[in-house]
Structure 1
Amino acid sequence: MVESTNIYAMDRLQADLAAHGAAFFAHYQTAGKGQRGKSWSADPGNNIALSVIVDSSFLSITHQFPLSVMVALAVHDLFNKYTTDETFIKWPNDIYWRDRKAGGILIENLVRSGALAGSVVGIGLNINQVVFPDTLKNPVSLKQITGKNFDTVALAKELCIGLEKRYHELKDGNFASMLAVYNQYLFKRGQQVRLKYNAAAFYCVVEGVSENGELLVSGAAKDRFEFGEVEWVLTT
């Protein structure tokens, strides 16, 4: 049990006590972290709560989106392997099965002398949990989809292997092809969705995501949005 695997991993990274590939798995977090300051809650022992240290020093501090693509693809690879090929990546990097959220990703960076010195990749993935808090609108787990129980530690190890594979793919200069796959599995691509911008909701069609991580849409006042500019308005 830890407060947060991301907090623990970042403490280790900042103290130079852990390097690329170090992974920290928790059966239970007392203060799991989600995107944009949100918390991440999960049943003890039933899910994946994993943080992995990644050497991101080869990336520009002004162009970090390739790291998000890499991680989202690795998590998608794992979840999709055990489901019915209906797993999607919801921009920027949530994992969805059909219209329900299966997991989330939080990447935190260590910056030294104005450059990326390393990153902590935090992954929360619903595996065996079947009862969720009412505050969560649309969760789903691997067990709910398949009816099977899974070994969370074994899956976390498999995820680490997949992360390393995708990492080398990125480092070898294959970002363009990785982004194409990311867009292939983009949640609601080609469909009309409802978003909220400056407190006003509107409808648009999701077209894709740019190499800079902008959500590309049609039928709206703007044709692209940066992360944090808009919120999804989901009915499920």
Structure 2
Amino acid sequence: MQNNTFSGLFVGQNLITLKEVASTNTFLKDALSKSTPLLEGTVIMAEKQFAGRGQTDNTWLSEERMNLTFSILLNPSFLRVDQQFEFNKAISVALIDVLGTYVGDDALIKWPNDLYIGGRKTGGMLIENIVTGNKIKHAIVGIGLNVNQTNFPVSLKNVTSLKQRLHKDYDLLVLLGEICSAIEARYLQLKAGHTKKISLDYMNSLYLLNQRASFKTKDGFLEGKIIGVNSSGQLEMETPGGRVFFNNKEVEFIYE
């Protein structure tokens, strides 16, 4: 275990690097359950994560020391439980703030929690909230980002990395520092109540917004156009049968 310090008010001020861990989110949750004193903004980064988790128990596969796999502890007790998607949007936009400096408008958010570059998945996040009453006491923000990896399993046909896209290597700690700074800025923006600005930036970065595309649901294939995401985090889509809303895992994007 190694400790480092980033510049900034609090996110990344306490950085703990683990040589190997099953999941940084699980590590952080276990530490909280044992009442381990952890400062807000603590970052747990894994050099090797062998059981990384995505949404609804999906796995996140990452080559050792090639990518960023880390979790951040935040304490957004200023948010009610029914505002948790506002938090999701703030974190998503912060990641686009950073990726956009490298690839411009090619950096997009694929609802609900994926990061895309040029139409291909480059990263994702898993936010797990610990609730007290109707407030979010702790939020564990798990992030995986493909950085220097260029070889991916054949089964993953819609995946890329920064290096694969831009043909150069990146310093993982420098990139992590940039992400921590961006998350801190958007988190403070959210805390100050600037939700309209965050929502606007989120919508402007939404993958396939206002574009007709093919999707798959439990009822079969569907032609539709994404027109937004509501306050509960449901995907809002215009279809030949009218406006419909989808929760996570109720609709699947189809790739050519």
**Greater Cα shift, 174-183 or 75-84:** 75-84
Off by >4 Å, runs of 4+ in structure 1 = none
Is 1:97 aligned with 2:97? no
After superposition, give the CA deviation of every residue in 1:172-231 in whole Å (9 maximum; x if it has no partner): 001111111100111001111222232422010111222332212112435242422522
Distance in 1, Cα, partners of 2:107 & 2:125: 15
Unaligned runs of 5+ in 1: none
Unaligned runs of 5+ in 2: 1-19
Q: Which residue of 2 aligns with 1:32?
A: 52
Q: Which residue of 2 aligns with 1:80?
A: 100
Q: Which residue of 2 aligns with 1:187?
A: 207
* 1:140 pairs with one of 155, 160, 174: 160
Q: Percent identity?
A: 33
After superposition, give the CA deviation of every residue in 1:36-91 in whole Å (9 maximum; x if it has no partner): 11000011101010100011211111221011101101111111111142111011
> Per the alignment, in what secondary structure is the counterpart of residue 22 of structure 2?
coil
Is 1:130 aligned with 2:150? yes
> Per the alignment, in what secondary structure is the counterpart of residue 51 of structure 1?
strand
**Greater Cα shift, 104-113 or 9-18:** 9-18
TM score, norm. by length of structure 2:
0.87
**Greater Cα shift, 48-57 or 112-121:** 112-121
Distance in 2, Cα, partners of 1:27 & 1:53: 18
- Confirm or deny: 8 A CA contact 1:206 1:217 kept in the other structure: yes
Aligned length: 236
Distance in 2, Cα, partners of 1:221 & 1:11: 46
1:42/1:199 Cα in 2 relative to 1: closer, same or farther (>3 Å)? farther
Distance in 1, Cα, partners of 2:254 & 2:100: 22
- Confirm or deny: 8 A CA contact 1:2 1:26 kept in the other structure: yes
* 1:111 pairs with one of 103, 127, 131: 131
After superposition, give the CA deviation of every residue in 1:107-166 in whole Å (9 maximum; x if it has no partner): 011123453211100000000000001221211100011111001122112211111111
Q: Give the structure with the larger strand fraction.
A: 2
Q: Which residue of 2 aligns with 1:51?
A: 71
**Greater Cα shift, 77-86 or 117-126:** 77-86
Q: Which residue of 1 aligns with 2:192?
A: 172
> Per the alignment, in what secondary structure is the counterpart of residue 236 of structure 2?
strand
Q: Which residue of 1 aligns with 2:230?
A: 210
1:45/1:233 Cα in 2 relative to 1: closer, same or farther (>3 Å)? same
Distance in 2, Cα, partners of 1:67 & 1:29: 25
> Per the alignment, in what secondary structure is the counterpart of residue 64 of structure 1?
helix
Distance in 2, Cα, partners of 1:47 & 1:61: 32
Distance in 2, Cα, partners of 1:39 & 1:66: 25
The one-letter amino acid paired with 2:199 is L
Cα RMSD (Å): 1.5
